[in-house]
Structure 1
């Protein structure tokens, strides 16, 4: 069947299976309280927002044949900048001041993305090395901003980014949805998506075809930095503090995994926004399910690894053919006619 050959079929099936497990293991899977949605499902959607944003930016970078290992450090810097500035406010609940600080933090994240893009496209450093530099140095910058301390804030407008609700849905999830819709429209309703795939498929050919590959490469790293910064704001708003050590720790690995699960080619040239969304929500749901079914904390990572391996194998047509014996029948050789 055609639907079974779709790369998103098995990730969607496993995501649905995990949600069903949570329906039977959680006390409240979804309920309405004070006009807002509460329960396991809304918590999954809210918790998935930072990973969705980071994975969305990672998708665009990988589509051009690159990689960004610095997203976790960018998250830490963004949260550190925001919390430091908010802590110096006379009135931390002043909406205008908080929005201005949020804009400053995102602006700093965009500059960090510009740094990565310049190293990759301008200087010619390999993406994994260029972003590894900021991955290491960025965490140190975040600790310098916070002076190695955890900066606590008591700003209700800032906290609303992570814990607030709008139209009964978590604001953090709505922010991620808005980003997804915007990127989808830009990449699938304009020529941008084709340009990204062209640059990722063959940078030399795209350059000869008149495409400004370097400019597009810089752009995707800037966008990725901006999304990582926004994710860092949501993370710090959720805990109402800036933790430069824990913020975004190893989230780059989950983001890459979400992109791969969604069917985006790591070599570039093909990407799927819908697949990334499914992959990110699946990873977040898996983390919640591990706790719900009572897996011991020391075995959590191993349990997640087994599920991910099973998922990747289910997406492999070669593996399915070998296991289930779905080999295509070979065509009989046609004998050549010998002229009389």
Structure 2
């Protein structure tokens, strides 16, 4: 039982289960799933579908955090990716031509890779602190997205593009398969090759890693490129789901939710060991929490406050230091003599 309690997934899974049970008691049909026109519908399906972009961004963020870095620009990359894709499609005479859809997707993905590489070069070669390097693109990227959209919401009518975010495959949302593919690739690269050890080594001690023959700059560059790729794909899912691109609001605060998902999943912001499966659970917790808040009718003006308090509670529950201080204070209050070295002999 002690090993289960100390497992890095114990508390995230417990919190997720508690949220789901609360929803079940509040709304008895929360777990009900129905089939309509060959597609599955239900609250659980919606959580997976709407949470797919956040999961993607959080997966990329996990590898960046593992190198003791941070990427504040992912929300802007999400907005830029969706804006470029929708702009390209909107310029076509026939928006359902497969060649046009593929071109728009490739341009968006290519630009996302470039932006990720830009962040990586600033951090690895330029020696700029990650929070500053990515803050530059966070601010400038949001402006670029608005320039691409002309400050307006670009709407597209392509059913084939909409399939990315709202289509179904084998009765499940297609976005779930996209997330599963990215997660499997990330797990294979980091757990079945030496890349995962290189990332953790660079996060623990980049100088020692360099002396051991690991090219720290190359590792750092690669994780930022991958993070940009994940954000770009998330932007495609997000914009295709609503068949539009909003340079101002698309991906807004995604960087903060992604960081929270990483921390909830058990990965330390100090770098080193990382847990991709924990990150996925953390992202599901955030999406389930968002769904719960909307379902119980919490006023919109205090939604973020409630969300912040719940996330704070989750992080404290997982903190060994918090429990150590709590146990020490409890012991001092109930057994004050022990702290002073006083022993009562009967």
* Short-chain TM bin: over 0.9
Is 1:130 aligned to residue 133 of structure 2? Answer: yes
Describe the shift of the 1:2–1:49 C-alpha distance in structure 2 as closer, same or farther (beyond 3 A): same
1:264 to 267, 270, 273: 267
Deviations 1:297-333 (A, max 9, x none): 2221221122112111211234334546797xx9xxx
TM-score between both structures, scaled by the size of structure 1: 0.93
Task: Measure how far apart 1:183 and its partner are.
Answer: 0.3
TM-score between both structures, scaled by the size of structure 2: 0.91
Q: Secondary structure at the match of 2:269?
A: coil
**Paired position in structure 1 for 2:252:** 249
Is 1:159 aligned to residue 184 of structure 2? Answer: no
Between 1:59-68 and 1:93-102, the stretch displaced more is 93-102
Task: Measure how far apart 1:24 and its partner are.
Answer: 3.8
Describe the shift of the 1:323–1:124 C-alpha distance in structure 2 as closer, same or farther (beyond 3 A): closer
Q: Secondary structure at the match of 2:40?
A: strand
1:80 to 55, 80, 83: 83
**Paired position in structure 1 for 2:111:** 108
Contact kept, 8 Å, 2:75 with 2:250, in 1: the verdict is: yes
Q: Secondary structure at the match of 2:125?
A: helix
Contact kept, 8 Å, 2:164 with 2:175, in 1: the verdict is: yes
Task: Measure how far apart 1:101 and its partner are.
Answer: 1.2
**Paired position in structure 1 for 2:20:** 19
Is 1:220 aligned to residue 212 of structure 2? Answer: no
Contact kept, 8 Å, 1:28 with 1:40, in 2: the verdict is: yes
Is 1:45 aligned to residue 48 of structure 2? Answer: yes
CA distance in 2 between counterparts of 1:322 and 1:269 reads 25
What are structure 2's unaligned runs of at least 5 residues? 332-337, 339-346
**Paired position in structure 1 for 2:334:** none
Aligned length: 330
Within-5 A mapping of 1:1-340: 1-26=2-27, 27=29, 29=31, 30-323=33-326
CA distance in 2 between counterparts of 1:58 and 1:318 reads 24
Contact kept, 8 Å, 2:23 with 2:30, in 1: the verdict is: no
Task: Measure how far apart 1:32 and its partner are.
Answer: 2.0
What are structure 1's unaligned runs of at least 5 residues? 331-340
Q: Secondary structure at the match of 1:246?
A: coil
